[in-house]
Amino acid sequence: MKKLLFTLFIISGFGLSAQIKDYDWKKMNPDQRKEVINNLSPDERKALLTQFRNNMVVDMLDVAPQDKAEFTAMYNEYLDNQKHIKSEFDSNFDPEKLSEDEAKVKLQQSFEVGQKLFDNRKKYAEKMQTVIPCQKVLKLFQSEGMMRDKMNEKKPHGGKKSTSGAKETP
């Protein structure tokens, strides 16, 4: 069943990738790239970003050409599982408005989700080592942390970015 789903995923990906790969992204200026991306459907845009991310990771890790497809499928599966696990925890709450019992439950849920994320990471680290060496798995996880840190730097807290640390008023 997994092989059938994987095959269907790859086939559908080739159809979409064929449309996206028609562009020479390196020769485009930023405005041209932006225009092309803005004209893509949300599904095409998501596929493009996934393709860019996968290419960047495969290049960074210098994955052997014969292992690229297997590694990419495994990496995407890992990320999908991580995303699914994260969705189990609703972090959209104000801790100060929770009762002591509600806060204990939320805290316990956060530990359980954290453990699931850790277990999933460990599982995929072992799986990935069947395709790439352990050093490259470490490099992948290290780069994930750096990318997450970079994204958090750019993400404004509270909806607006402020240099003073206090929220700006409209």
pLDDT tens string 56-111:
999 999 999 999 999 999 999 999 999 999 999 998 899 999 999 999 999 999 99
Angle between helices 2-20 and 42-61 (to 10 degrees): 100
The burial of 48, by beta-carbon neighbours within 10 Å (0-12 exposed, 13-18 middle, 19 or more buried), is given as buried
Highest mean pLDDT out of 37-41, 42-46, 63-67, 141-145: 63-67
- Quick: pLDDT tens for 12-26: 444 444 445 567 777
pLDDT, residue 62, reads: 95
What is the reported pLDDT for 160? 44
Q: Looking at residue 125, what is its pLDDT?
A: 97
Helix or strand or coil: residue 66?
Answer: helix
Whole-Å CA distances, 108 to 89, 101, 121 = 11, 11, 20
Per-residue pLDDT reduced to its tens digit, 125-134: 999 999 999 9
Q: Rounded to two decimals, what is the model's pTM?
A: 0.69
